[in-house]
Structure 1
Amino acid sequence: MDFPVTFQIFGKTILAHPVLETVGIFIGMRYYFYLKRKSKEKLSFNTSAAVLIGATAGALIGSKLIGNLENPYTLFENFSFKRFWTNNTIVGGLAFGLIGVEWAKKIVGHKESTGDLIVYPLILAMIIGRIGCFLTGVHEETYGIPTDFIFGMHLGDEYLRHPVALYEIGFLIILWIILKTLQRKNKYPSGFVFQLFMLSYFSFRLMLDFIKPRIEIIGNLGTIQLVCIVVIFYYFLKLRKTKVVTSL
């Protein structure tokens, strides 16, 4: 396979990543609305609208802010709006999307968790997006460091690299299966599945980023890893308070 994989759209050559990222968001949203129609838990229009706006605004701001802070020296020394707008990371999107949702819920006075329904559509969208990351190779900063490991692959340059996008796809598929299995065996309070997803994914990303190129900010940790630690701590405290009832 030759990297990067591209598509011809309206006479222009487009990298696979933005194309599949867009497809992933579309399919994920359609899956979410399908699950929402089947769900017994109904939210008012005001609550649904507030949550959607909060999540979208938070994710948009967070994905670009954290994405650019991965290399703060370049951001502040030679600022470019185009570069700022095109740098994104799912870690920032998830973390700040959470903040946006919590603020929105406070505004409309909604206290119950609203995250469980989005978990599987989100995982699906992320898997499709990561396929795009893999197909783009080293032409966007979603690749691993050089390695002699058995899974090392040529992703568009002379080095064998960790195919971190494939690692993440494998992790997300396994996480989907585990969460579905747990839901069948136990009865959880609202929001537990989303909390477990966030704790699991951010723990995985904390470790995965050790085999990705990064600018070390504190110790040997990059910006994304520092965000992961904050989110892990937050959800670890929340999950400690959760009571689980085992189904017989």
Structure 2
Amino acid sequence: MLPIVSLPFEPILFGIKINIHLVLEYLAFFVGFRYYLYIRKRTTDTISNNNRLSIIIGAVFGALFFSRLMAFLENPPLHYSQGIISLLNNKTIMGGLFGGLLGVEFVKKLIGEKQSSGDLFTLPIILGIAIGRLGCLLAGTKEFTFGKETGFYFGMDLGDGLYRHPIALYEIVFLLGLFFLIRQLQQSPQPMKHGSYFKIFMIAYFSFRFMLEFLKPNSYFLFGLSSIQYLCLFCLLYYYKSIGEAINYARKKLYLL
């Protein structure tokens, strides 16, 4: 079993209990946005400032709506009984990501922007999610980002006296690996076409989250899958052409070997 500080981690500063998860959530937004500005200054952005701003606005509104919708669909009877406050307070990054994607595509059609816009956001998004997931881990069982009971070596007491899969920690490790992989691909002497890095992130992350959901103690299922898993499948279907291209590319490489 992995040793860890007592969870949930709730430090007290000047007599005030600090919501460390909320602090890290805001930090994730701040660091992610600052990192995006840092990358954009050092990159030739072929999208105009006005169009880029419109794209960001589309992403924000799409993310706000779908993050709360998907959080509600994780357990509709429970959230419905808790009223509108529950709908406004609960959110999920999976809905935010896919909603942001739809918001961006909608705005790009409105303004007539045809160029791929996601690559500049890819690494900042990954970094921001990783910071946010650290907050989830430190929140223990106060946030629904904990796993089922386990006797596995990596099991942790997340605050309820039971050893559980620390799925937030699993996700942090995966995200850091994905971050360095995409960064390495971006620095390759043979760069990929525009939009490819964001697609790699979305396909990899949604595939990983589909599998990770099996380790969560979900209580609401439809035909054996959670709402997040259906969203993951829908996202992979959205990128089916890119997945098919990747499979064909891998087959050709294997054939040449």
Common fold: TM-score over 0.5: yes
Q: Which amino acid aligns with 2:244?
A: R
Tell me which residue corresponds to 1:21: 25
Tell me which residue corresponds to 1:54: 58
| Deviation digits for residues 150-200 of structure 1 (CA, Å, limit 9, x no counterpart) | 110101012100000110000011111222233315321110000010000
Which residue, out of 157, 169, 174, partners 2:172? Answer: 169
1:54–1:104 CA contact under 8 A, matched in 2: yes
- % same residue: 42
SS of aligned partner of 2:18: strand
Tell me which residue corresponds to 1:104: 107
Q: Which runs of 4+ in 1 moved over 6 A?
A: none
Gaps of 5+ in 1: none
User: 1:205-224 maps to which residues of 2 (within 5 A)?
Assistant: 205-224=209-228
Tell me which residue corresponds to 2:152: 149
Partner Cα separation in structure 2 for residue 67 and residue 47 of structure 1:
30
Q: Which amino acid aligns with 1:238?
A: S
Partner Cα separation in structure 1 for residue 231 and residue 189 of structure 2:
32
2:127–2:179 CA contact under 8 A, matched in 1: no
Q: Which amino acid aligns with 1:123?
A: I
Displacement, 1:79? Answer: 4.1
Aligned: 1:189 with 2:197: no
User: 1:45-124 maps to which residues of 2 (within 5 A)?
Assistant: 45-76=49-80, 78-124=81-127
Partner Cα separation in structure 1 for residue 50 and residue 244 of structure 2:
31
| Deviation digits for residues 73-131 of structure 1 (CA, Å, limit 9, x no counterpart) | 1233x142221122111000001000000001011100111000111111111111111
Say which is worse superposed, 117-126 or 41-50, in terms of deviation. Answer: 41-50
Partner Cα separation in structure 1 for residue 165 and residue 190 of structure 2:
36
Q: Which amino acid aligns with 1:64?
A: R
Partner Cα separation in structure 2 for residue 18 and residue 63 of structure 1:
16
Task: Give the TM-score of the pair, scaled to structure 2.
Answer: 0.89
Tell me which residue corresponds to 2:42: 38
Displacement, 1:217? Answer: 2.7
SS of aligned partner of 1:6: coil
Tell me which residue corresponds to 1:126: 129
Say which is worse superposed, 53-62 or 217-226, in terms of deviation. Answer: 217-226
Which residue, out of 227, 230, 237, partners 2:234? Answer: 230
Q: Which amino acid aligns with 1:121?
A: P
Partner Cα separation in structure 1 for residue 136 and residue 149 of structure 2:
17
Q: Which amino acid aligns with 1:83?
A: S
Partner Cα separation in structure 2 for residue 241 and residue 182 of structure 1:
17
Partner Cα separation in structure 2 for residue 201 and residue 70 of structure 1:
19
Tell me which residue corresponds to 1:199: 203
Gaps of 5+ in 2: 250-257
| Deviation digits for residues 44-92 of structure 1 (CA, Å, limit 9, x no counterpart) | 232112101100001111111101110011233x142221122111000
1:67–1:88 CA contact under 8 A, matched in 2: yes
Change (3 A) 1:185 1:230: farther
Aligned length: 243
| Deviation digits for residues 217-245 of structure 1 (CA, Å, limit 9, x no counterpart) | 3222101010000001211323435898x
